[in-house]
Amino acid sequence: MTTITLKTIIFLGSARNITPPWGGDSRLGDRVIKWVKSVMESRKESLGADTIAHDFRIIDPIEVFGPNGALSYSGGELSKPTFFMDQSTLPAAAKELQEAIKEADCYLVVSPEYNHSIPPALSSVMGHFGGSNYKCKPSGIITYSPGVFGGIRAAMAIQVMLHELGCLPVSKLCGVGNVSEVLNEDGKPIDPNNRLLKQLPELLTQLEWMAVAMANQRKLSGTF
């Protein structure tokens, strides 16, 4: 038995950093990403005779578009996508991020829904890098909301974006509604038996199966 460690990029979809007038979290997604991080750190599942682990990196739009961030030269408005630039002039931080995305085995998107669709920060971060960086790899979608729908309407739009980028989303979705009633501020489940929490392990099982299968095929073909 061997351990297969998947390089996993987690894209956080929200760049919100303001407390709403009615109170609450400045960014509800912080609870969700802490929960996802905890699940990923403790997860060691079997796939055939092998054990699967994740070496993951979280891409936060507040950081990458912030001062000295990897994409601060372009901004959230996507004024200078990497594939329009001479690679020799690409800022070092942007080039490093591009390489990390290209070398990943799979992707997770953790996102709210803005106007029932894709948050601009998410589409901008992922759109800065051409489809050649994502192609022939799987992805998984985790959405959330303060209400009952769990951001699932955004998931439908995110699916289309991921298909176009070439990182095909697995069929299992994870939608966490009423986040503040499901997760504490530190990302720990309020009720560990909450049925909503069962979605992520099932999603990861599909993601891992696809990531290993597609990595094997990329090695065999030698194309990507």
Measure the CA–CA gap between 86 and 199, rounded to whole angstroms. 42
pTM, two decimals, is 0.96
User: Given pLDDT bands bounded at 50, 70 and 90, which one contains residue 181?
Assistant: very high
Range from 14-23, 152-161, 215-224 that averages highest in pLDDT: 152-161
pLDDT in tens, 23-74: 889 999 999 999 999 999 999 899 988 999 999 999 999 999 999 999 999 9
Of 183, 141, 175, 182, the C-alpha closest to 161 is 141
Superfamily of 3-221 according to CATH:
Flavodoxin domain (3.40.50.360)
Measure the CA–CA gap between 206 and 140, rounded to whole angstroms. 9
Measure the CA–CA gap between 197 and 183, rounded to whole angstroms. 10
Per cent of the chain over pLDDT 90 is: 91
Contacts of 58 (CB under 8 A, 6+ apart): 10, 12, 33, 37
Contact 180, 141 (CB under 8 A): no
pLDDT in tens, 132-180: 999 999 999 999 999 999 999 999 999 999 999 999 999 999 999 999 9
DSSP code per residue over 12-80: E-----S--TT-S-S-THHHHHHHHHHHHHH--EEETTEEEEEEEEEE-HHHHSSTT-TTTTTTTTTSS
